[in-house]
Amino acid sequence: MTARPPAGAGAPFGARLAAAMDDHGPLCVGIDPHATLLADWGLTDDAAGLATFARTVLDAVAGRVAAVKPQAAFFERHGSAGLAVLEEVVAAGRETGTLVVVDAKRGDIGSTMGAYADAFLRDGSPLAGDALTVSPYLGFGSLGPAVDLAHATGRGLFVLCLTSNTEGHEVQHARTQDGPTVAATMAAHAAALNAGERPLGSVGLVVGATVGDAAERAGVDLVRVNGPLLAPGVGAQGAGAAELARVFGGARRQVLASSSRGVLAAGPDVAGLRAAARRAADEAAAALR
């Protein structure tokens, strides 16, 4: 495997992701070392166990899937030692040519959002992968510093839009003063930023794979977004081919299916993890391509 260039040195994230999905299938493997899973793997719930877990997942899938998605919270709970492991995951992804989506869901205003952007999107930052998940619910414009820096460095964003948690509809399906839902408004902002980009823009959305007809009910035009759609919930959380077709319809080729528990349950055996990831990638390709 050949190391890829730094994010800012090559094509924009949307183009690099589209190529990776064509090469490996539309699957992102979550790296979610929560305490229960560490115990199931026979690992200690500390930074050492965290590091072993992350290295094992990367040994199994790096260079074989379109992307990996470390969930920052499970690293942060171990303090500075855990963040050091997250930095290692980001660096290892770069070395193996695997795209890294840092799932940190950052969102704030002004200089604070600028600082988050600097941490996760700036060239040279040890926490800067290829893309970052962000929350727009202080207003899409609050993401400006992240949008600007992602654009400048060739990185991507995945903006929370339609999530699978039962509380999400309270905000996402609420109507704005002008009439559209909040989710539709967020999707329209992403579409404007992606206009004219080929094969995909670099500002994607997070749309849960188990949300059913939520996009239709909320008036969200996923095809028009013209960006990648990160879809958590594939596999163990219940989303298969029928669910993916129902949620995404004509936008299916934009979808990066995300599987965590469905793959990680096959560990700690590297061969088992690798086989589970291959099955998940093949199933996602059959459903989405």
The set of residues, in sequence order, having a beta carbon less than 8 Å from that of 212 and lying 6+ positions away, is 243, 246, 247
69 classed as catalytic: no
Q: How far apart are CA 131 and CA 108, in angstroms?
A: 17
Contact 203, 227 (CB under 8 A): yes
d(CA 130, CA 132): 7
Catalytic one among 47, 55, 63, 105?
Answer: 105
Is residue 254 helix, strand or coil? helix
CB atoms within 10 A of CB 165: 9
Which pairs count as long-range contacts for 122-125, CB under 8 Å and 24+ apart, including other chains? 122/149, 122/153, 123/6, 123/7, 123/8, 123/153
Q: What are phi and psi of 63, to 5 degrees?
A: 80, 0
Contact call for residues 102 and 129 (beta carbons, < 8 A)? yes
- The residues that are catalytic are 105
